[in-house]
Structure 1
Amino acid sequence: MTITAPDLSVFEERESNVRSYCRDWPAVFDRAQGSHLYDERGRPYLDFFAGAGALNYGHNNPVLKRALLDYLERDGITHGLDMASAAKRSFLEAFEHYALRPRDLSYTVMFPGPTGTNAVEAALKLARKVTGRETIVSFTNAFHGMSLGALAVTGNAFKRAGAGVPLVHGAPMPFDRYLDGQVPDFLWFERLLEDKGSGLNKPAAVIVETVQGEGGINVARAQWLRQLAALCKRHGMLLIIDDIQMGCGRTGAFFSFEEAGVVPDIVTLSKSISGYGLPMSLTLFKPELDMWEVGEHNGTFRGNNPAFVTATAALATYWKDDQTQKQTQAHAEQVERSLQTICAERADASYRGRGLAWGIEFTNPEQASAVCARAFEHGLLLETSGALSEVVKLLPPLSISSGELEEGLSILARVVAETR
């Protein structure tokens, strides 16, 4: 059967060269439901991408959609800056009831703007304001956003180069196992902090992902995170956990740092916090750090009321008990068994991950891109990650069924075997 190529001319003629995902997935998508997208010809694609982690509960989740439609149909507030609204009140009450109180957390909630990089920028500004210091420590292969402050604590050389200006006031340190265990954890970091001749100004904060998604699914050990938290406390540095991609249940628990038993000073959330893919982000911080002056950090779209509505519905539906976490853990075991089998047949491949964030690393980066391209031909959406795009990244919706997960893993096994 001959498949006619989709008409992409208007995108190629009118859209900027900066577009990326559409180059890897040459289809015109028209609708989506659950774990699938459909192109305009009706062909289904199983989604192991989930909006880069923004769709933990799947596409057009019916519970969240119903809440959103009801709100819009009654002419609920859509745009509200930071004005008080019924939708915001419901979200704050739900967030406290389902996310904070069960974990004995008392964070102050800030709505910094609609995107993850907005949340990171607010976190960095607040850390500097509280401490009176400038330097922020980040880690190798980190990704924290595309605005200048967030880029300064991002590791990827290609993305950093796009800034066009020097990226300052950031200092990178080795992420967990970056040196393959040859050097004790934090030996270099602590030596720099203690040595008056090191050239490292005392940092305001340390920002870290518990699992580096864009960096290649690099998983920090719980022990390493606890040691980092203790190091920050000893030296008077704030600990910022970037939970933008790995929060909202991606690793199992609602917050990805729960397993390590640490309590960060500041937490950033975005992507799946709205539950429906609507723009929304939060910067959470301990109440004693709330040193903002009125209006000192603002933004026109920091009050996305439709996102408050779907976020509230997501919390009340998926975090009223531990069933979502248990299902994610079961799915994680299913994925790990499959990847173990796949990688056992490839000497050039290894796997790693946690919850429903997994990756297969190939020694030849071109293999990862080839696997993703071949998977698309078979109706499976996958992306690469890592500094050299050497990792095939699996990020399916948390709401995926075991059958759909098995279907996608079978396609993955097939295309890995075909791609050599």
Structure 2
Amino acid sequence: MDIFKKQESKVRSYSNSFPVVFTKAKGSWLETEQVDRYLDFLAGAGSLNYGHNNPVFKQALLDYIEQDGITHGLDMHSTAKANFLEVLERNILAPRQLNYVTQFTGPTGTNAVEAALKLARKVKKRSSVVAFTNGFHGCTAGALAATGNQHHRQGSGMSLNNITRIPFEGYADIDGLKLFETMLTDNSAGMDKPAAVLIETVQGEGGLNVASNQWLQRLEAICKQHDILLIVDDIQAGCGRTGTFFSFEPSGIKPDIVTLSKSIGGYGLPMAIVLFKPELDIWQPGEHNGTFRGNNHAFVTATKALETYWADDSLEKHVAASSEIISKVLDKCLHDHADLFVQKKGRGMMIGIECNDGELAGQIAKTCFENGLVIETAGPNDEVVKFFSPLTISHDELTQGLAIFENAVEQIVAKDFKQAS
């Protein structure tokens, strides 16, 4: 551990919660230098929806490398990119009647958000964008301006401008959409007409807050009425995490722009894309670029992911069944320990339980780790324990991890009882 303390910046965070050295990973399991094994309910913060070292993806990648396939190609044409675009259209876009073109950005989610914001402003010739309370969109300047979390915002060292923030559904019992619509039609409200609205339909880092279908439909209608583009940030909630490939599918809305990253690459390789309606494609060649927007290894594994898991609805059914298993355990905790927990949150396998405070959630996560489960917290005060296993986890493994969580809760309850006595 000394080399990390000596050479790595203090900006690291996950390693502070999980202070071991991992060497191997397979499926839903992580393994350390000491050959200790941990069930992974973090899954690369949603980058490993299909598990670690998925054997189907790995073999496709090894075959491609063995054949000296293109690794880095800027935005030049390649067979790997062509295959990805064809499968994306056939397995994802066409069945959902979504007519989008694809922009390959730099390899991280925040790169995709930056491109989406820039495009929206370019199309509408307006600088303002509306974002929501508790939203998280990344840590580069434009995406960070749209992010609500003060911990992340204070790291910028600069003014974060051109964002108007309105309440997400359920925030402080305020009807944010009514406020938004009123301000748009009131010449004295002080709101500059925005180019776009940027939203996560299920807020990840913000605490697993879920926008209802009706609320999203209202938002889409407001945007259409006032000539505002609707951008859905599906970087964490997409690729099946909430039960459908895109998180917004149950609502029936069709965003103007969608950002994807994390699990779009399938294998955990860096990749990010922006999907948008063809009429918005007013970019000039090279006007928005990035050296690593052509990660062909990620194209290979992304294609294999879409072919393997999205040619039919078997994964969606597995996610629904797994979500039900998690929900039953969380409902039991809410019933048995009403003094500790507030509510169940999230949707699909983007689900968690809100604790009374962040200290309790932190204690639960720490105790889980001590007993072989990697799990993190979310929310403005880290008060939500977040269950984020690979979507492909077996039900036996899922039950095993949930048992560790339940035992952690009981350990904490017993410890508190002993101290009180």
TM interval, shorter chain, is over 0.9
SS at match of 1:419: helix
* Residue number in structure 2 paired with 1:367: 360
Supply the distance in 1 between the matched residues of 2:20 and 2:158 (Cα, whole angstroms).
Answer: 35
Supply the distance in 2 between the matched residues of 1:126 and 1:65 (Cα, whole angstroms).
Answer: 35
Supply the distance in 2 between the matched residues of 1:44 and 1:196 (Cα, whole angstroms).
Answer: 60
- Equivalent residue letter for 1:239: L
* Residue number in structure 2 paired with 1:193: 184
Deviations 1:169-193 (A, max 9, x none): 001110011123xx44512111111
SS at match of 2:83: helix
* Residue number in structure 2 paired with 1:216: 207
Give the superposition deviation at 1:305. 0.1
Query: Does 1:250 pair with 2:241?
Result: yes
SS at match of 2:105: coil
Give the superposition deviation at 1:55. 0.2
**Number of residue pairs aligned between Structure 1 and Structure 2:** 411
* Residue number in structure 2 paired with 1:62: 55
2:340 to 322, 342, 348: 348
* Residue number in structure 2 paired with 1:133: 126
Supply the distance in 2 between the matched residues of 1:338 and 1:319 (Cα, whole angstroms).
Answer: 28
The answer as to whether partners of 1:185 and 1:224 remain within 8 angstroms in 2 is no
Supply the distance in 1 between the matched residues of 2:29 and 2:6 (Cα, whole angstroms).
Answer: 28
Deviations 1:10-35 (A, max 9, x none): 00010000011001001100000000
2:320 to 329, 334, 347: 329
Query: Does 1:303 pair with 2:294?
Result: yes
2:26 to 22, 25, 33: 33
Supply the distance in 2 between the matched residues of 1:69 and 1:386 (Cα, whole angstroms).
Answer: 39
* Residue number in structure 1 paired with 2:226: 235
- Equivalent residue letter for 2:283: W
Supply the distance in 2 between the matched residues of 1:251 and 1:387 (Cα, whole angstroms).
Answer: 21
Deviations 1:142-175 (A, max 9, x none): 0000000000000001101111000000011100
Segments of structure 2 that go 5 or more residues without pairing to the other structure are 414-421
SS at match of 2:57: helix
The answer as to whether partners of 2:168 and 2:176 remain within 8 angstroms in 1 is no
The answer as to whether partners of 2:362 and 2:377 remain within 8 angstroms in 1 is yes
* Residue number in structure 2 paired with 1:113: 106
SS at match of 1:138: strand
Query: Does 1:16 pair with 2:9?
Result: yes
- Equivalent residue letter for 2:228: M
Supply the distance in 2 between the matched residues of 1:171 and 1:276 (Cα, whole angstroms).
Answer: 36
Supply the distance in 2 between the matched residues of 1:171 and 1:210 (Cα, whole angstroms).
Answer: 18
SS at match of 1:278: coil
SS at match of 2:385: strand
- Equivalent residue letter for 1:320: A
The answer as to whether partners of 1:371 and 1:416 remain within 8 angstroms in 2 is yes
Query: Does 1:290 pair with 2:286?
Result: no
* Residue number in structure 2 paired with 1:90: 83
Give the superposition deviation at 1:416. 1.4
SS at match of 1:240: strand
Supply the distance in 2 between the matched residues of 1:408 and 1:28 (Cα, whole angstroms).
Answer: 21
Give the superposition deviation at 1:389. 0.8
Segments of structure 1 that go 5 or more residues without pairing to the other structure are 1-7
Identity %: 56
SS at match of 1:192: helix
User: Where do 4+ consecutive residues of structure 1 move more than 2 Å?
Assistant: none
1:320 to 311, 335, 341: 311
2:167 to 171, 174, 197: 174
